[in-house]
Structure 1
Amino acid sequence: MGGNANAEAMKQMGFGNLVQNLDWLGWVVLVTLVVMSFLSWYFIIANAIRNAMVRGRADKVIDGFWGNGSTQDAIRELEAQPKGEPFSKIALDAASAVAHHQQTAAAGTTGRLAESLSRSEFIDRALRQAVSRESLRLEGGMTLLATVGSAAPFVGLLGTVWGIYNALIRISASGNASMTAVAGPVGEALIMTAFGLFTAIPALFAYNFYTRSNRLTYARFDEFAHDLHDFFATGSRVEGAAPTSK
C-alpha cells in the first residue's frame, strides 16, 4: 500500500499539476521565465544568422576593395553590398568624408574646416564614428542575453521559495506530512528551479560565445579602418600593411 501511495504521489510532481495549482505569483514567475526564454532564443538565432553573414562576407568585401584597380569601381561595389554588411559601410563613410573634404576645399570654403580638421583628421573622425556605429549594431540583444543569463536562475528560485512556502502552509493546515501531501508542492517548486536554469544556461553560453565572436570582428573593423585611413589620407595603401584576411 505504501508503495502504491508513493507512486501516486510522484504523479503529482509533473508540469500539468504545477499549472493547475499555481497562484498569482507563480503565474508571474512562470510567464516571466517563458518570455525570457523566448526573447533569449530569438536573439540567439538572430545573432547567429547576423554573425555568420558578416563573417562570411568580410573577406569578399575587404579583398574586393583592395583588389579593385579603380577606387570608383570599388566604391560602386561597396554600394551594392547588403544594407547590413558593416565593412562596406565603414569604407563608404571614409570615402564620403574624403569627398566632402575635397568639395569644401574646391568651393574655397576651407577656412573653418582647415583650421579645425586636416584631411587626415577628418577621415579619422569619420572612420571612428563608422566603426563605433557598426560595433554597436553587433551588440543587438547582448544586454538581454546577459540579463537572462544572470537573472533567470533567481526568478526560478523565487518560484521555488514561494512554492515551498505554500507547501509548508498546506502541511501546517492539514497536519499531514505524508508523501502524498508533500510531493505535489515540492515538485512544483523544483520545476520552477529547473525552468529557471533551462532559461539561463543557453543565454549565458550564447552571451559568452557572441562576446568572443564580436571581439574578433571588432579587431577586423579596426584593422580595416586603419588601412582605409592610410589609403584615403595618402592616396595609396601603406606597403607592408597586415593582411585583412584571417
Structure 2
Amino acid sequence: MLQETTNAPAAAPGGDAAAALSQMGADHLINEMVTNPGQHVVQWVVSLTLILMSVMAIYWIVVNLLKNMNLRRRGDSVVSTFWETTNAQDAIRYMEEQPSSEPFSKIALDAAQAAAHHQQHEGSRLVESLNRSEFVDRALRQAVTRESMRLESGLTVLASIGATAPFVGLLGTVVGIYGALIRLGAGGQASIDAVAGPVGEALIMTAFGLFVAIPAVLGYNFFVRLNRITNNKFDTFAHDLHDFFATGARVGEVQVKR
C-alpha cells in the first residue's frame, strides 16, 4: 500500500522580510517608545530635544520674518516722509509718532536729541571737548549699533540649532546601531528580524535631526542676508542725518532753517 505523502506549503521568505521591514517605520518606533519607555530613554531625550529645537526654530523664523516684512513695508515710507517734510520740527514730531519697533525713527530721534543737547550746552566743557559734528556722529553710531543688534535677535538660536540638531539626531542613531549589534550578538546570527527595529530607529533619528537643522540653517542665512541690506540702509540714513544735523542740510541740498 502506497503511503501518500503531502508537501506542506513552505512559508514565503518574503513574508518574514516584509514583517521585519515593517518594524522600521516611524509608527513602530512611536509604539515602542510608548509601550516600553524604560528601554527607550535615549530616544525620548533625543526626540523631546529635537521637538523643542524645532519649535524654537519655527518661532524665531516667524518672528524675524514678520519683523523684516514690517520693516521693509514701513522703513522706506518713514525715511522718505522725513526728508519730504520741509520743517525740521514737523519731521522730528513725525518720527516721535512712529511705533517703538520702527528703527529708522529711533536713529533720527537720537541724532536730533544729540544735536539739541549740544546746542543747549554751548560754551560748556562738552562743547569744547566735542564739536557738533563729532557729538552727533557718536550718537548716530550708538543708535545704528543698537538697532543692528535688535535685528539679530534669534539668529544665534537658529545658528545653534542648525549646527547641533544633526548631532543630537546622531546620538539616537548611535544608540539604534548599538541596539542592533546587541541583538545580533544575542541571536548568534545575522537576520533582518534582529536588526530591522534598531536600524529603523537609527534612520528615523538621523532624518529627524536633519529635518530640524535644515530649516534653521536656511532661515539663518536668509535673515543674515536681509539684515545686511537693512544695515546698509541704516548707514546711509545715518550719514544723511549727520549732514543734516551738523550743517542743516543733506549733501546736495540747500540749507534749511531748523
Tell me the residue number matched to 2:183.
Answer: 170
- How many equivalent residue pairs? 236
Task: State which of 48, 68, 81 in structure 2 corresponds to 1:51.
Answer: 68
**Corresponding position of 1:67:** 84
Deviation at 1:148, TM superposition (A): 1.0
1:243 paired residue number = none
Q: Which residue of 2 aligns with 1:140?
A: 153
Q: Which amino acid aligns with 1:152?
A: A
The one-character-per-residue Cα deviations of 1:137-194 (angstroms, maximum 9, x if unpaired) are 0001101111111111111112101110112112212325321221111000000000
Query: What does 1:118-197 correspond to in 2, within 5 Å?
Result: 118-197=131-210
**Normalising to structure 1: TM-score of the pair?**
0.92
Amino acid paired to 1:24: V
In the aligned structure 1, how far is the partner of 2:68 from the partner of 2:129? 38
Q: Any idea what the Cα deviations from partners look like across 1:81-106, whole Å, max 9, x if unmatched?
A: 1110100110011011111112222x
1:2 paired with 2:25, answer no
| Structure 1 position 18, deviation (Å) | 1.9
How many angstroms apart in 2 are the aligned matches of 1:164 and 1:53? 48
Q: Which residue of 1 aligns with 2:241?
A: 228
RMSD: 1.3
**AA of the residue aligned to 1:146:** A
Q: How many angstroms apart in 2 are the aligned matches of 1:76 and 1:59?
A: 17
Contact 2:111 2:140 in 1 (8 A): yes
1:214 aligns with 2:231: no
Give the distance between the partners of 2:191 and 2:143, measured in 1 at CA.
Answer: 66
Alpha-carbon distance between aligned partners in 2 of 1:103 and 1:164, rounded to the nearest angstrom: 73
Match of 1:15 among 4, 13, 26: 26
Unaligned runs of 5+ in 1: 241-246
Identity %: 61
The one-letter code matched in structure 1 to 2:238 is A
> 3-12 or 211-220: which moved more?
3-12
How much does 1:58 deviate? 1.3
Larger Rg: 2
Give the unaligned 5+ runs of structure 2.
Answer: 1-11, 34-38, 254-258
**Which one has more relative contact order, counting CA pairs under 8 Å at least 6 apart?**
1
